[in-house]
Structure 1
Protein backbone atom coordinates (compact mmCIF):
# COMPACT_ATOMS: atom_id res chain seq x y z
CA UNK A 1 0.00 0.00 0.00
CA UNK A 2 2.93 2.35 -0.57
CA UNK A 3 2.05 5.80 -1.95
CA UNK A 4 -1.63 5.29 -1.20
CA UNK A 5 -4.08 6.78 1.27
CA UNK A 6 -3.20 3.91 3.59
CA UNK A 7 0.48 4.83 3.89
CA UNK A 8 -0.36 8.29 5.20
CA UNK A 9 -1.26 9.18 8.80
CA UNK A 10 -3.35 6.40 10.32
CA UNK A 11 -6.64 8.27 10.44
CA UNK A 12 -9.92 7.81 8.63
CA UNK A 13 -10.81 9.70 5.49
CA UNK A 14 -14.01 9.26 3.52
CA UNK A 15 -12.14 7.88 0.53
CA UNK A 16 -11.31 4.74 2.55
CA UNK A 17 -14.94 3.56 2.73
CA UNK A 18 -14.82 2.12 -0.77
CA UNK A 19 -11.82 -0.02 0.22
CA UNK A 20 -13.30 -1.58 3.37
CA UNK A 21 -12.99 -5.36 3.28
CA UNK A 22 -16.14 -5.80 5.33
CA UNK A 23 -18.37 -2.70 5.19
CA UNK A 24 -20.76 -2.09 8.05
CA UNK A 25 -23.76 0.22 8.54
CA UNK A 26 -22.58 3.72 9.36
CA UNK A 27 -19.20 3.39 7.66
CA UNK A 28 -20.05 5.76 4.80
CA UNK A 29 -21.07 8.53 7.19
CA UNK A 30 -17.92 8.46 9.34
CA UNK A 31 -16.07 11.75 9.58
CA UNK A 32 -13.07 10.59 11.59
CA UNK A 33 -11.80 7.87 13.87
CA UNK A 34 -9.73 8.13 17.04
CA UNK A 35 -7.81 4.90 17.74
CA UNK A 36 -4.05 4.74 17.41
CA UNK A 37 -4.10 1.59 15.24
CA UNK A 38 -7.65 1.40 13.88
CA UNK A 39 -9.02 -0.53 16.88
CA UNK A 40 -12.32 1.37 16.81
CA UNK A 41 -12.93 0.39 13.17
CA UNK A 42 -11.86 -3.16 13.94
CA UNK A 43 -14.45 -3.43 16.71
CA UNK A 44 -17.22 -2.06 14.51
CA UNK A 45 -16.19 -4.34 11.65
CA UNK A 46 -16.31 -7.42 13.86
CA UNK A 47 -19.74 -6.50 15.23
CA UNK A 48 -21.37 -5.23 12.05
CA UNK A 49 -21.49 -1.57 13.06
CA UNK A 50 -23.27 -2.43 16.31
CA UNK A 51 -25.01 0.44 18.06
CA UNK A 52 -25.64 0.90 21.76
CA UNK A 53 -22.95 -1.60 22.74
CA UNK A 54 -21.21 -1.89 26.10
CA UNK A 55 -17.50 -1.70 26.86
CA UNK A 56 -14.95 -2.00 29.65
CA UNK A 57 -11.89 0.13 28.91
CA UNK A 58 -8.98 -0.72 31.21
CA UNK A 59 -6.39 2.00 30.75
CA UNK A 60 -8.31 4.98 29.40
CA UNK A 61 -5.57 7.62 29.27
CA UNK A 62 -7.07 10.55 27.32
CA UNK A 63 -10.68 10.72 26.07
CA UNK A 64 -10.30 11.42 22.34
CA UNK A 65 -6.86 11.21 20.72
CA UNK A 66 -5.68 7.60 20.37
CA UNK A 67 -8.73 6.43 22.32
CA UNK A 68 -10.51 3.21 21.35
CA UNK A 69 -13.97 3.98 22.73
CA UNK A 70 -14.48 7.60 21.67
CA UNK A 71 -15.95 6.78 18.26
CA UNK A 72 -18.08 4.00 19.72
CA UNK A 73 -19.47 6.31 22.38
CA UNK A 74 -19.95 9.49 20.37
CA UNK A 75 -21.13 8.13 17.02
CA UNK A 76 -22.60 4.70 17.80
CA UNK A 77 -24.23 5.24 21.18
CA UNK A 78 -22.08 2.86 23.20
CA UNK A 79 -21.86 3.11 26.99
CA UNK A 80 -19.30 1.66 29.32
CA UNK A 81 -16.78 2.12 32.09
CA UNK A 82 -13.26 3.47 31.71
CA UNK A 83 -10.62 2.80 34.36
CA UNK A 84 -7.56 5.03 34.63
CA UNK A 85 -4.91 5.22 37.35
CA UNK A 86 -3.62 8.75 36.65
CA UNK A 87 -5.98 11.42 38.03
CA UNK A 88 -4.32 14.04 35.82
CA UNK A 89 -6.51 12.81 32.96
CA UNK A 90 -9.79 13.46 34.78
CA UNK A 91 -10.22 17.13 33.70
CA UNK A 92 -10.00 16.15 30.02
CA UNK A 93 -12.64 13.44 30.43
CA UNK A 94 -14.88 15.77 32.39
CA UNK A 95 -14.62 18.46 29.71
CA UNK A 96 -14.44 16.42 26.49
CA UNK A 97 -16.53 13.33 27.29
CA UNK A 98 -18.74 14.36 30.20
CA UNK A 99 -21.33 11.65 29.52
CA UNK A 100 -18.77 8.83 29.74
CA UNK A 101 -18.24 6.90 32.96
CA UNK A 102 -14.61 7.54 33.91
CA UNK A 103 -13.26 6.08 37.14
CA UNK A 104 -9.91 6.83 38.77
CA UNK A 105 -8.95 3.38 39.98
CA UNK A 106 -6.11 0.91 40.25
CA UNK A 107 -7.11 -1.76 37.74
CA UNK A 108 -4.95 -4.26 39.62
CA UNK A 109 -7.00 -3.81 42.79
CA UNK A 110 -10.53 -4.07 41.36
CA UNK A 111 -12.65 -7.09 42.26
CA UNK A 112 -14.20 -7.49 38.81
CA UNK A 113 -16.53 -10.31 39.83
CA UNK A 114 -18.27 -7.84 42.12
CA UNK A 115 -17.75 -4.70 40.05
CA UNK A 116 -19.07 -5.87 36.69
CA UNK A 117 -22.63 -6.59 37.97
CA UNK A 118 -22.64 -3.21 39.70
CA UNK A 119 -21.54 -1.39 36.57
CA UNK A 120 -23.48 -3.31 33.93
CA UNK A 121 -26.17 -5.28 35.73
CA UNK A 122 -26.29 -9.02 36.23
CA UNK A 123 -28.88 -10.11 33.66
CA UNK A 124 -26.66 -10.21 30.56
CA UNK A 125 -23.12 -11.19 31.41
CA UNK A 126 -21.64 -10.10 28.11
CA UNK A 127 -19.78 -6.96 27.11
CA UNK A 128 -19.23 -6.09 23.48
CA UNK A 129 -15.69 -4.79 23.89
CA UNK A 130 -12.89 -5.26 26.40
CA UNK A 131 -9.76 -3.14 26.20
CA UNK A 132 -6.76 -4.27 28.25
CA UNK A 133 -3.97 -1.71 28.08
CA UNK A 134 -1.96 -0.61 31.09
CA UNK A 135 1.79 -0.34 31.60
CA UNK A 136 3.85 -2.42 31.76
CA UNK A 137 2.30 -5.31 29.84
CA UNK A 138 2.84 -7.71 32.73
CA UNK A 139 0.28 -5.60 34.63
CA UNK A 140 -2.14 -5.94 31.73
CA UNK A 141 -1.76 -9.69 32.09
CA UNK A 142 -2.46 -9.39 35.82
CA UNK A 143 -5.76 -7.62 35.07
CA UNK A 144 -6.74 -10.37 32.65
CA UNK A 145 -6.19 -12.91 35.42
CA UNK A 146 -8.51 -10.95 37.73
CA UNK A 147 -11.44 -10.95 35.31
CA UNK A 148 -14.28 -13.46 35.86
CA UNK A 149 -13.69 -15.19 32.54
CA UNK A 150 -15.73 -18.21 33.60
CA UNK A 151 -18.92 -16.20 34.02
CA UNK A 152 -18.60 -13.14 31.74
CA UNK A 153 -18.03 -13.04 27.98
CA UNK A 154 -16.46 -10.32 25.83
CA UNK A 155 -17.30 -10.19 22.13
CA UNK A 156 -14.14 -8.34 21.06
CA UNK A 157 -10.90 -7.99 23.03
CA UNK A 158 -7.81 -5.94 22.33
CA UNK A 159 -4.88 -6.94 24.53
CA UNK A 160 -1.77 -4.75 24.45
CA UNK A 161 1.24 -7.05 24.59
CA UNK A 162 4.00 -4.51 23.87
CA UNK A 163 5.85 -7.34 22.16
CA UNK A 164 8.19 -4.81 20.56
CA UNK A 165 9.94 -4.47 23.93
CA UNK A 166 11.16 -8.06 23.72
CA UNK A 167 9.28 -9.08 26.89
CA UNK A 168 6.92 -11.79 25.64
CA UNK A 169 5.55 -12.94 29.00
CA UNK A 170 2.25 -11.05 28.75
CA UNK A 171 1.76 -11.91 25.10
CA UNK A 172 2.42 -15.62 25.47
CA UNK A 173 0.47 -16.22 28.67
CA UNK A 174 -2.50 -14.10 27.62
CA UNK A 175 -2.75 -16.18 24.45
CA UNK A 176 -2.91 -19.33 26.53
CA UNK A 177 -5.55 -17.93 28.88
CA UNK A 178 -7.83 -16.51 26.20
CA UNK A 179 -7.62 -19.57 23.98
CA UNK A 180 -8.43 -21.80 26.94
CA UNK A 181 -11.60 -19.75 27.47
CA UNK A 182 -12.76 -20.19 23.90
CA UNK A 183 -11.60 -16.91 22.38
CA UNK A 184 -10.15 -16.84 18.89
CA UNK A 185 -7.25 -14.62 17.76
CA UNK A 186 -8.18 -12.83 14.55
CA UNK A 187 -4.94 -10.81 14.48
CA UNK A 188 -1.69 -11.47 16.32
CA UNK A 189 1.15 -9.00 16.73
CA UNK A 190 -0.81 -6.09 15.32
CA UNK A 191 1.56 -3.22 14.59
CA UNK A 192 1.39 0.46 15.44
CA UNK A 193 3.25 3.48 14.17
CA UNK A 194 5.14 4.93 17.15
CA UNK A 195 8.09 7.10 16.02
CA UNK A 196 9.65 7.51 19.50
CA UNK A 197 10.48 3.79 19.39
CA UNK A 198 10.98 3.11 15.69
CA UNK A 199 10.40 4.73 12.28
CA UNK A 200 8.76 1.45 11.25
CA UNK A 201 5.53 -0.01 12.67
CA UNK A 202 6.12 -2.16 15.75
CA UNK A 203 4.13 -5.17 17.10
CA UNK A 204 2.18 -4.20 20.19
CA UNK A 205 -1.24 -5.86 20.41
CA UNK A 206 -3.35 -8.99 19.84
CA UNK A 207 -6.97 -8.83 18.67
CA UNK A 208 -9.42 -11.51 19.82
CA UNK A 209 -13.08 -12.32 19.37
CA UNK A 210 -15.67 -14.62 20.87
CA UNK A 211 -16.73 -16.93 18.00
CA UNK A 212 -20.23 -16.91 19.45
CA UNK A 213 -20.47 -13.20 18.62
CA UNK A 214 -18.56 -12.88 15.31
CA UNK A 215 -19.33 -14.63 12.04
CA UNK A 216 -16.89 -17.42 11.15
CA UNK A 217 -16.29 -16.04 7.66
CA UNK A 218 -15.15 -12.72 9.14
CA UNK A 219 -12.81 -14.51 11.53
CA UNK A 220 -11.26 -16.63 8.78
CA UNK A 221 -10.84 -13.63 6.48
CA UNK A 222 -8.89 -11.68 9.08
CA UNK A 223 -6.82 -14.66 10.15
CA UNK A 224 -5.81 -15.34 6.56
CA UNK A 225 -4.72 -11.76 5.97
CA UNK A 226 -2.98 -11.54 9.34
CA UNK A 227 -0.76 -14.46 8.33
CA UNK A 228 0.95 -12.13 5.88
CA UNK A 229 0.83 -8.76 7.61
CA UNK A 230 0.72 -7.13 11.01
CA UNK A 231 -0.52 -3.80 9.68
CA UNK A 232 -4.07 -3.10 10.82
CA UNK A 233 -4.92 -1.11 7.68
CA UNK A 234 -4.11 -4.18 5.58
CA UNK A 235 -6.56 -6.17 7.68
CA UNK A 236 -9.35 -3.64 7.40
CA UNK A 237 -8.90 -2.34 3.85
CA UNK A 238 -7.97 -3.65 0.43
CA UNK A 239 -5.86 -1.49 -1.85
Structure 2
Protein backbone atom coordinates (compact mmCIF):
# COMPACT_ATOMS: atom_id res chain seq x y z
CA UNK A 1 0.00 0.00 0.00
CA UNK A 2 1.33 3.43 -0.94
CA UNK A 3 2.02 5.80 1.94
CA UNK A 4 -0.40 8.65 2.32
CA UNK A 5 1.08 11.94 1.35
CA UNK A 6 0.80 14.60 4.04
CA UNK A 7 -0.73 16.87 1.44
CA UNK A 8 -3.32 14.37 0.24
CA UNK A 9 -6.87 14.96 1.55
CA UNK A 10 -7.94 12.54 4.27
CA UNK A 11 -11.37 10.99 3.78
CA UNK A 12 -13.74 11.77 6.67
CA UNK A 13 -14.87 8.82 8.79
CA UNK A 14 -18.18 7.30 7.71
CA UNK A 15 -21.18 8.74 9.53
CA UNK A 16 -22.64 6.87 12.53
CA UNK A 17 -25.56 5.64 10.45
CA UNK A 18 -23.10 3.83 8.13
CA UNK A 19 -21.55 2.00 11.07
CA UNK A 20 -24.96 0.97 12.32
CA UNK A 21 -26.00 -0.18 8.89
CA UNK A 22 -22.82 -2.20 8.51
CA UNK A 23 -23.35 -3.82 11.90
CA UNK A 24 -26.89 -4.79 10.97
CA UNK A 25 -25.71 -6.32 7.72
CA UNK A 26 -23.00 -8.24 9.51
CA UNK A 27 -25.45 -9.55 12.09
CA UNK A 28 -27.81 -10.63 9.34
CA UNK A 29 -25.01 -12.42 7.53
CA UNK A 30 -24.10 -14.27 10.72
CA UNK A 31 -27.69 -15.44 11.13
CA UNK A 32 -27.87 -16.59 7.53
CA UNK A 33 -24.62 -18.53 8.05
CA UNK A 34 -26.47 -21.25 9.93
CA UNK A 35 -27.88 -22.25 13.27
CA UNK A 36 -24.48 -23.45 14.40
CA UNK A 37 -23.05 -19.95 14.24
CA UNK A 38 -26.03 -18.60 16.13
CA UNK A 39 -25.69 -21.26 18.81
CA UNK A 40 -22.00 -20.50 19.21
CA UNK A 41 -22.65 -16.77 19.55
CA UNK A 42 -25.51 -16.86 22.07
CA UNK A 43 -24.63 -16.40 25.73
CA UNK A 44 -25.35 -19.10 28.29
CA UNK A 45 -28.98 -19.15 29.44
CA UNK A 46 -30.21 -17.09 26.50
CA UNK A 47 -33.56 -17.97 24.99
CA UNK A 48 -35.31 -16.40 22.00
CA UNK A 49 -38.64 -14.75 22.53
CA UNK A 50 -40.94 -13.04 20.02
CA UNK A 51 -41.11 -9.29 19.85
CA UNK A 52 -43.87 -8.11 22.20
CA UNK A 53 -47.01 -6.74 20.61
CA UNK A 54 -47.41 -2.98 20.93
CA UNK A 55 -49.98 -1.98 23.53
CA UNK A 56 -53.49 -1.66 22.18
CA UNK A 57 -54.64 1.86 21.58
CA UNK A 58 -57.31 3.02 24.03
CA UNK A 59 -60.84 3.16 22.70
CA UNK A 60 -61.68 6.60 21.36
CA UNK A 61 -63.72 8.81 23.63
CA UNK A 62 -67.44 9.11 22.92
CA UNK A 63 -67.95 11.98 20.46
CA UNK A 64 -69.72 15.05 21.76
CA UNK A 65 -72.53 14.40 19.29
CA UNK A 66 -73.19 10.88 20.64
CA UNK A 67 -76.20 10.43 22.90
CA UNK A 68 -76.76 7.72 25.49
CA UNK A 69 -80.15 5.99 25.47
CA UNK A 70 -81.70 3.43 27.80
CA UNK A 71 -84.96 3.10 25.88
CA UNK A 72 -85.65 0.33 23.40
CA UNK A 73 -85.33 2.50 20.30
CA UNK A 74 -84.06 5.85 21.60
CA UNK A 75 -87.46 7.16 22.65
CA UNK A 76 -85.92 8.82 25.72
CA UNK A 77 -83.60 10.88 23.51
CA UNK A 78 -86.48 11.98 21.29
CA UNK A 79 -88.64 12.87 24.30
CA UNK A 80 -85.75 14.71 25.93
CA UNK A 81 -85.17 16.74 22.79
CA UNK A 82 -88.84 17.67 22.53
CA UNK A 83 -88.99 18.72 26.18
CA UNK A 84 -85.74 20.67 25.92
CA UNK A 85 -87.24 22.60 23.00
CA UNK A 86 -89.80 24.02 25.45
CA UNK A 87 -87.14 24.54 28.15
CA UNK A 88 -87.96 21.52 30.31
CA UNK A 89 -84.65 19.93 31.31
CA UNK A 90 -85.75 17.88 34.36
CA UNK A 91 -89.24 16.67 33.51
CA UNK A 92 -91.68 15.08 35.89
CA UNK A 93 -92.86 11.78 34.44
CA UNK A 94 -95.47 9.06 34.75
CA UNK A 95 -94.22 5.72 33.43
CA UNK A 96 -97.14 3.31 32.98
CA UNK A 97 -95.76 -0.18 32.44
CA UNK A 98 -92.27 0.71 33.67
CA UNK A 99 -90.99 -2.89 33.51
CA UNK A 100 -87.22 -2.80 34.24
CA UNK A 101 -85.79 0.29 36.01
CA UNK A 102 -82.99 0.66 33.44
CA UNK A 103 -83.17 -1.63 30.41
CA UNK A 104 -85.62 -0.62 27.67
CA UNK A 105 -86.92 2.07 30.00
CA UNK A 106 -88.22 5.39 28.64
CA UNK A 107 -87.63 7.42 31.81
CA UNK A 108 -84.34 6.21 33.34
CA UNK A 109 -82.33 8.74 31.31
CA UNK A 110 -84.30 11.54 32.98
CA UNK A 111 -83.74 9.92 36.37
CA UNK A 112 -79.95 10.01 35.84
CA UNK A 113 -80.27 13.75 35.20
CA UNK A 114 -82.02 14.39 38.49
CA UNK A 115 -85.64 14.22 37.32
CA UNK A 116 -88.20 12.28 39.36
CA UNK A 117 -91.60 10.74 38.77
CA UNK A 118 -94.00 7.83 39.27
CA UNK A 119 -93.49 4.28 37.99
CA UNK A 120 -96.53 2.02 37.61
CA UNK A 121 -95.73 -1.69 37.24
CA UNK A 122 -98.10 -4.61 37.97
CA UNK A 123 -95.43 -7.33 37.84
CA UNK A 124 -94.29 -7.80 41.45
CA UNK A 125 -91.14 -9.50 40.16
CA UNK A 126 -89.98 -6.06 39.01
CA UNK A 127 -91.39 -3.65 41.57
CA UNK A 128 -88.75 -4.48 44.21
CA UNK A 129 -86.00 -3.85 41.67
CA UNK A 130 -87.62 -0.59 40.62
CA UNK A 131 -87.66 0.57 44.24
CA UNK A 132 -84.05 -0.50 44.80
CA UNK A 133 -82.52 1.02 41.67
CA UNK A 134 -84.66 4.16 41.62
CA UNK A 135 -85.33 5.10 45.24
CA UNK A 136 -86.10 8.69 44.28
CA UNK A 137 -89.15 7.64 42.27
CA UNK A 138 -92.55 6.57 43.55
CA UNK A 139 -93.31 2.95 42.59
CA UNK A 140 -96.91 1.73 42.41
CA UNK A 141 -97.34 -2.06 42.26
CA UNK A 142 -100.56 -2.06 40.26
CA UNK A 143 -102.03 -1.77 36.81
CA UNK A 144 -103.96 1.10 35.24
CA UNK A 145 -107.60 0.24 34.70
CA UNK A 146 -110.04 1.25 31.98
CA UNK A 147 -113.18 0.80 34.11
CA UNK A 148 -114.13 1.34 37.75
CA UNK A 149 -112.89 -2.15 38.68
CA UNK A 150 -110.30 -2.22 41.46
CA UNK A 151 -108.61 -5.45 40.33
CA UNK A 152 -108.29 -7.60 37.24
CA UNK A 153 -106.67 -10.74 35.85
CA UNK A 154 -103.02 -10.14 34.98
CA UNK A 155 -101.74 -12.60 32.38
CA UNK A 156 -98.12 -13.67 32.88
CA UNK A 157 -96.46 -14.99 29.73
CA UNK A 158 -93.17 -16.71 28.92
CA UNK A 159 -91.67 -13.27 28.17
CA UNK A 160 -92.22 -10.82 31.02
CA UNK A 161 -92.31 -7.76 28.79
CA UNK A 162 -95.43 -9.17 27.11
CA UNK A 163 -97.47 -9.58 30.31
CA UNK A 164 -100.84 -7.92 29.97
CA UNK A 165 -104.33 -7.39 31.36
CA UNK A 166 -105.76 -7.91 27.88
CA UNK A 167 -107.00 -11.47 27.32
CA UNK A 168 -107.46 -10.83 23.60
CA UNK A 169 -103.80 -9.80 23.40
CA UNK A 170 -102.78 -13.10 25.02
CA UNK A 171 -104.82 -15.06 22.50
CA UNK A 172 -103.27 -13.05 19.67
CA UNK A 173 -99.74 -13.73 20.96
CA UNK A 174 -100.35 -17.45 21.37
CA UNK A 175 -101.75 -17.56 17.86
CA UNK A 176 -98.98 -15.59 16.14
CA UNK A 177 -95.83 -16.14 18.24
CA UNK A 178 -94.06 -18.84 20.24
CA UNK A 179 -94.98 -17.21 23.58
CA UNK A 180 -97.40 -18.94 25.92
CA UNK A 181 -99.46 -18.11 28.98
CA UNK A 182 -97.81 -19.18 32.26
CA UNK A 183 -100.33 -18.12 34.91
CA UNK A 184 -103.04 -15.60 35.76
CA UNK A 185 -102.71 -13.35 38.82
CA UNK A 186 -105.34 -11.09 40.42
CA UNK A 187 -103.75 -7.63 40.48
CA UNK A 188 -104.95 -4.25 41.83
CA UNK A 189 -105.93 -1.50 39.41
CA UNK A 190 -105.63 2.28 39.63
CA UNK A 191 -107.26 5.08 37.66
CA UNK A 192 -104.76 7.15 35.68
CA UNK A 193 -106.44 10.45 36.58
CA UNK A 194 -106.35 9.56 40.28
CA UNK A 195 -102.64 8.69 40.06
CA UNK A 196 -101.88 12.07 38.50
CA UNK A 197 -104.04 13.97 40.98
CA UNK A 198 -102.48 12.19 43.96
CA UNK A 199 -98.82 12.29 42.94
CA UNK A 200 -98.31 15.39 40.79
CA UNK A 201 -99.99 18.04 42.88
CA UNK A 202 -102.98 18.32 40.56
CA UNK A 203 -100.83 19.16 37.52
CA UNK A 204 -100.00 16.86 34.63
CA UNK A 205 -96.56 15.24 34.44
CA UNK A 206 -94.33 16.74 31.75
CA UNK A 207 -93.83 13.32 30.17
CA UNK A 208 -96.21 10.36 30.01
CA UNK A 209 -94.98 6.97 28.80
CA UNK A 210 -97.55 4.21 28.23
CA UNK A 211 -96.52 0.66 27.34
CA UNK A 212 -99.09 -1.86 28.55
CA UNK A 213 -99.36 -4.44 25.79
CA UNK A 214 -102.67 -4.03 24.05
CA UNK A 215 -104.51 -1.65 26.39
CA UNK A 216 -102.53 1.51 25.62
CA UNK A 217 -105.30 3.15 23.60
CA UNK A 218 -108.02 2.12 26.05
CA UNK A 219 -106.13 3.69 28.96
CA UNK A 220 -105.41 6.89 27.04
CA UNK A 221 -109.11 7.23 26.29
CA UNK A 222 -109.73 7.41 30.05
CA UNK A 223 -107.22 10.26 30.53
CA UNK A 224 -108.98 13.55 31.27
CA UNK A 225 -107.20 15.80 28.76
CA UNK A 226 -109.27 18.72 29.98
CA UNK A 227 -107.51 18.52 33.37
CA UNK A 228 -104.20 16.84 32.58
CA UNK A 229 -102.18 17.55 29.47
CA UNK A 230 -98.67 16.06 29.52
CA UNK A 231 -96.36 18.03 27.24
CA UNK A 232 -95.05 14.86 25.56
CA UNK A 233 -96.67 11.43 25.44
CA UNK A 234 -94.94 8.25 24.25
CA UNK A 235 -97.24 5.33 23.48
CA UNK A 236 -96.82 1.94 21.86
CA UNK A 237 -98.66 1.89 18.55
CA UNK A 238 -97.29 -1.29 16.99
CA UNK A 239 -99.62 -4.25 16.59
CA UNK A 240 -97.63 -7.06 18.23
CA UNK A 241 -96.42 -9.67 15.77
CA UNK A 242 -96.88 -7.36 12.76
CA UNK A 243 -95.27 -4.29 11.19
CA UNK A 244 -98.52 -2.32 11.36
CA UNK A 245 -99.27 0.69 13.57
CA UNK A 246 -102.69 1.46 15.03
CA UNK A 247 -104.04 4.51 13.15
CA UNK A 248 -106.68 5.08 15.82
CA UNK A 249 -103.95 6.20 18.26
CA UNK A 250 -102.98 9.11 16.01
CA UNK A 251 -106.66 9.90 15.50
CA UNK A 252 -107.22 10.16 19.25
CA UNK A 253 -104.28 12.53 19.73
CA UNK A 254 -105.33 14.68 16.79
CA UNK A 255 -108.74 15.06 18.42
CA UNK A 256 -107.11 16.00 21.73
CA UNK A 257 -104.86 18.68 20.22
CA UNK A 258 -101.59 16.75 20.02
CA UNK A 259 -99.15 16.54 17.13
CA UNK A 260 -97.02 13.56 16.07
CA UNK A 261 -93.38 14.57 16.62
CA UNK A 262 -91.52 11.25 16.74
CA UNK A 263 -91.92 7.68 15.51
CA UNK A 264 -89.83 4.59 16.24
CA UNK A 265 -90.43 0.98 15.28
CA UNK A 266 -92.96 0.27 18.07
CA UNK A 267 -93.76 3.70 19.54
CA UNK A 268 -95.00 7.17 18.64
CA UNK A 269 -94.33 10.43 20.48
CA UNK A 270 -96.94 13.19 20.52
CA UNK A 271 -96.57 16.78 21.73
CA UNK A 272 -99.23 19.14 23.02
CA UNK A 273 -99.93 21.81 20.37
CA UNK A 274 -100.73 24.33 23.10
CA UNK A 275 -97.16 24.05 24.35
CA UNK A 276 -95.75 24.26 20.83
CA UNK A 277 -97.73 27.41 20.09
CA UNK A 278 -96.11 29.16 23.07
CA UNK A 279 -92.56 28.63 21.82
Q: TM-score, normalised by structure 2?
A: 0.57
Q: How does 1:120-139 map to 2 (within 5 A)?
A: 120-122=200-202, 125-135=203-213, 137=214, 139=215
CA distance 1:148–1:157, change in 2 (3 Å): same
In 2, the alpha carbon distance for the partners of 1:175 and 1:86 equals 28
Q: How does 1:78-227 map to 2 (within 5 A)?
A: 78-108=115-145, 109-122=189-202, 125-135=203-213, 137=214, 139-163=215-239, 165-166=241-242, 171-188=246-263, 190-191=264-265, 204-214=266-276
Paired residues of 1:156 and 1:210 also in contact (CA < 8 A): yes
1:208 CA drift (Å): 0.8
CA distance 1:107–1:56, change in 2 (3 Å): same
3-state secondary structure, aligned to 2:93? strand
1:50-104, Cα deviation, whole Å (9 max, x unpaired): 33321111100000111111110121x2111111110000221122112211111
| 1:71 and 2:120 correspond | no
1:120-156, Cα deviation, whole Å (9 max, x unpaired): 112xx33211101011x2x111111121122211111
In 2, the alpha carbon distance for the partners of 1:167 and 1:41 equals 23
Gaps of 5+ in 1: 1-12, 20-29, 192-203, 218-239
Which position in structure 1 is the counterpart of 2:42?
none
Which position in structure 2 is the counterpart of 1:51?
89
1:180 CA drift (Å): 0.2
Paired residues of 1:47 and 1:213 also in contact (CA < 8 A): no
Higher relative contact order by CA 8 Å / sep ≥ 6: 1 or 2? 1
In 2, the alpha carbon distance for the partners of 1:214 and 1:45 equals 13
In 1, the alpha carbon distance for the partners of 2:269 and 2:242 equals 19
In 1, the alpha carbon distance for the partners of 2:116 and 2:231 equals 15
In 2, the alpha carbon distance for the partners of 1:98 and 1:38 equals 24
For this pair of structures, how many residues does the alignment match?
174
3-state secondary structure, aligned to 1:61? coil
- The structure with the largest alpha-carbon Rg is 2
CA distance 1:132–1:95, change in 2 (3 Å): same
Paired residues of 1:63 and 1:96 also in contact (CA < 8 A): yes
Which position in structure 2 is the counterpart of 1:18?
65
3-state secondary structure, aligned to 2:65? helix
CA distance 1:183–1:39, change in 2 (3 Å): same
Across the aligned residues of Structure 1 and Structure 2, the Cα RMSD in angstroms comes to 2.4
